[in-house]
Amino acid sequence: MIKSQRELSRRLSETIGFTEPKLKLRQYLTPPNIAAALLWTAFMNGDIKGKVVFDLGCGTGILSIGASLLSALKVKGFDIDASTLSIAERNAAGLSNVEFIEMDVKKITGSCDTVIMNPPFMVKGGVSDRAFLDKAFSIAKRIYSIHNLGTHEFINKYSLRNGFKPAVIDSYKFPLKYSYKFHEKEKVNFMVGLWFFKK
């Protein structure tokens, strides 16, 4: 059993990241410390242990694995990219309460106790985090998510319009390491917010 946020971060740092990230899907690795902070808050709020948890746009599975380690009853990670899910499967080897499903988040059905996610940040010409929020709002009453802090006004207003009360748990520098050919620097930091939405 994981006993601290620091221990969770250490365990998550052992996961394998993207081998060939896809720009169209805005695939960036969630830093272990940020993933651990989001998950530990959800855990302390009673929204992980013994709960059914959906990870939308799970990527290589870092949030799904963290929820599993924190004793979720069942974790389902959804992603549209089959090659990324194969990495997630390797990362989650030995964890019996995790299932990864190749699916567009818009097509997810059913419901869960808690949604966790680090959706693509809202940008022009790419996948928008709005589609992830729409799905999350329709399947759960407790949602933990990471968004560009610069969009906080939109995020807050959009969640309120959908009947959810937003709260920023914390903010972090999110390091984007050189991943795509158009990147000019080895690493760029920008600010993200960790949000908790409840209905």
Crossing angle (nearest 10°) for helices 5-12 and 62-69: 140
Query: Are residues 191 and 173 in contact, defined by beta-carbon separation less than 8 angstroms?
Result: yes
pLDDT for the residue numbered 174:
82
Instruction: Specify burial of residue 165 (Cβ count, 10 A radius: 0-12, 13-18, 19+).
Output: exposed
Q: Say how far apart CA 86 and CA 121 lie, in whole Å.
A: 23
Higher pLDDT, 115 or 154: 115
State mean pLDDT over 151-168. 95
Length of the chain: 199
pLDDT for the residue numbered 125:
43
Band the pLDDT of 29: cuts 50, 70, 90. confident
pLDDT for the residue numbered 58:
96
pLDDT above 60 for 152: yes
State mean pLDDT over 144-159. 93
pLDDT, tens digit (0-9, with 9 covering 90-100), for 66-97: 999 999 999 999 999 998 999 999 999 999 99
pLDDT, tens digit (0-9, with 9 covering 90-100), for 104-148: 999 999 999 999 999 986 554 444 789 999 999 999 999 999 998
State mean pLDDT over 1-22. 86
State mean pLDDT over 167-183. 72
DSSP at 149: G
State mean pLDDT over 9-32. 77
Instruction: Specify burial of residue 107 (Cβ count, 10 A radius: 0-12, 13-18, 19+).
Output: exposed
Q: Say how far apart CA 75 and CA 83 lie, in whole Å.
A: 19
All structural domains of the chain with their residue ranges: 24-198
CATH number of 24-198: 3.40.50.150
